[in-house]
Structure 1
Amino acid sequence: MQTLTDVPAPSTAERVCTALVRADSTVLAVDGCDPVTTAVHHLHTDGDIVVTVPVDCPAVALAWQAGPAGLPAVLELTDHSPIALRNPVRSLIWLSGSLHPVGNPRELAAEVAEDLPHPELLDVGHGTELLRLELTSVVAADTTGAESVEVEDVLTALPDPFAALETAWLQHLEQDHADIVLRIARRIPPAARTGRIRPLGLDRYGLRLRIESGTGDHDVRIPFHEPVDDATGLSRALRRLVGCPFVNGLRARP
């Protein structure tokens, strides 16, 4: 039987990259002004995090005044579950570093838009400003605790291939296939599955379930037989977890 330490799962660096793709709440904090929400938070090819803020945000002026050394800053990412859970926060990511202004914001906005066509980028130079965060440290926290991860590991990692599809898959499981979730949950020891069982997360390594009980919530990872990389493999892996004998979509003989 697999132990908690050998269940296949994304690395912390992969989780950070995935959170950058799908986190729905990000806040930029610097000394000297109130925290500001950033609509765009993109890991650029040069290793900096590019963010958008209102042009009149005090952080913009402070970044220019800081000079080449940059302005110490922290970008906090919150990853919420797409399911209405009792505790919807799945993870928190803190990206720390030095904040710098951008000398060619429209050009950089066009580069970012090639990977992330966000409408906020259209307003750069008109009401929105770009800033870049040069990373010095990264910390990720979830229900298992907090962990520091090397910046270089984050820069070389890739987001999960299902980051953009996860919301739709989880909502589909929750709304239309609660029976499938319960069948998959049979893989959890009976003593550990007392409570309401909900889909929490989905990645190339497996499915995460949240168990909401009267004594508190806890999360369980159900690994796939092997990592998957596309929708066909994901569908097959889920059927295998359920116990469907036709994992390749074959039909029973008449």
Structure 2
Amino acid sequence: MTEPSTKATPTTAERIRSAFARAGGAMLAVEGLEPAESPVHHLLDDGSFAITVPVDGAVAQLVVSAGQAGVQAVLEMTDYAPLPLREPVRSLVWVRGRLRDVPASEVSALLDLIAAEDPNPALLQVNSGNGDTDRDTRYALLRLEIDSVVVADSTGAESVGLSALLGARPDPFSAMESCWLQHMESAHREVVDRLASRLPVSLRRGRVRPLGLDRYGVQLRVEGDDGDHDVRLPFARPVDDISGLSQAIRVLMGCPFLNGLRARRL
């Protein structure tokens, strides 16, 4: 169950872009083959996904043999909560489209483009034809031309158009969310308890855990005997920086005079 809110919330496209940014890995499914792990999944400005799969795997070999025709595939990304919850999956995103090989002459330039925005160490393992990658950990670079994108979470399943997806951006706090929630759980349990006091009385009987944090508010997970319940506590207005986030959380706690939380330095 998710409590309704009249305040601003992330759009579907924003939720998906944030899930893209947080997902550490993804699985690529092609009919008739075992799913392949994809450590790199990067949305390009032209509306396609650059992804990687093991260069010697069945998926890469099938795509290369298919040539320009490509093959139908589904990329699945899982957004996990940064805490050990009873049900750790926060959302699933499925990207369906046609998978094609990236010509060898374009690989290096595309890797540079991806690295400029997301310096994923796995990019160093892509077989770019220069012979300097470890043969045991090589990946092929492929391009998934998107047909549809669907996200499913505790609110249900919803699709989003490609133009909306390209126009959205990840939440500004997506990179630091894990650190904040872990720090809140381990060192500021009193904050969680104060936030929990805002919940309906019927939901205060379970174990309350921090579930999510974005520019629009805080999400809590109540793990009760009757199941899990996700509740959003919205900020009065969206925030864009650390100072605004700290103040918004203090207001939610009902204690605007308290010192703000500080993200633990890594």
TM-score of the aligned structures, taking structure 2 as reference length: 0.89
| Structure 1 SS opposite 2:152 | strand
CA distance in 1, matches of 2:139, 2:164: 31
| Equivalent residues of 2:99, 2:142 under 8 A apart | yes
Which amino acid is 1:238 matched to? I
| Equivalent residues of 1:196, 1:211 under 8 A apart | yes
RMSD: 1.5
Cα shift at 1:136: 0.7
CA distance in 1, matches of 2:76, 2:55: 20
Alignment of 1:1-254 (within 5 A): 4=4, 6-103=6-103, 104-125=106-127, 126=133, 127-246=138-257
1:122-181: per-residue Cα shift (whole Å, max 9, x none)?
121232111111111011001121111112211111110011000000001100111111
| Equivalent residues of 1:24, 1:80 under 8 A apart | no
Cα shift at 1:120: 1.0
Cα shift at 1:33: 1.8
Runs of 4+ in 1 over 4 A off after TM superposition: none
Which has the higher mean CA deviation after the structures are superposed, 155-164 or 4-13? 4-13
Which has the higher mean CA deviation after the structures are superposed, 171-180 or 149-158? 149-158
CA spacing shift, 1:247–1:180, aligned 2, 3 Å:
closer
Identity across aligned pairs (percent)?
52
Counterpart residue number, 1:252? none
Which amino acid is 2:229 matched to? H
CA distance in 2, matches of 1:234, 1:41: 29
Cα shift at 1:32: 3.3
Cα shift at 1:81: 0.3
TM-score of the aligned structures, taking structure 1 as reference length: 0.93
Which amino acid is 2:102 matched to? V
Q: Which has the higher contact order (CA 8 A, sep 6+)?
A: 2
Alignment coverage as a number of residue pairs: 247
| Structure 1 SS opposite 2:212 | strand
CA distance in 2, matches of 1:215, 1:31: 38
| Structure 2 SS opposite 1:75 | strand
CA distance in 2, matches of 1:5, 1:201: 15
CA distance in 1, matches of 2:62, 2:7: 45
CA distance in 1, matches of 2:204, 2:65: 55
1:197-248: per-residue Cα shift (whole Å, max 9, x none)?
0000000000000000111001000001110011111111111111223379
CA distance in 1, matches of 2:9, 2:65: 43
CA distance in 2, matches of 1:218, 1:248: 29
CA spacing shift, 1:234–1:245, aligned 2, 3 Å:
closer
| Structure 2 SS opposite 1:62 | helix
Contiguous gaps of at least 5 residues in structure 2: 128-132, 261-266
CA distance in 1, matches of 2:149, 2:97: 9
Cα shift at 1:5: 5.0
CA distance in 2, matches of 1:67, 1:5: 49
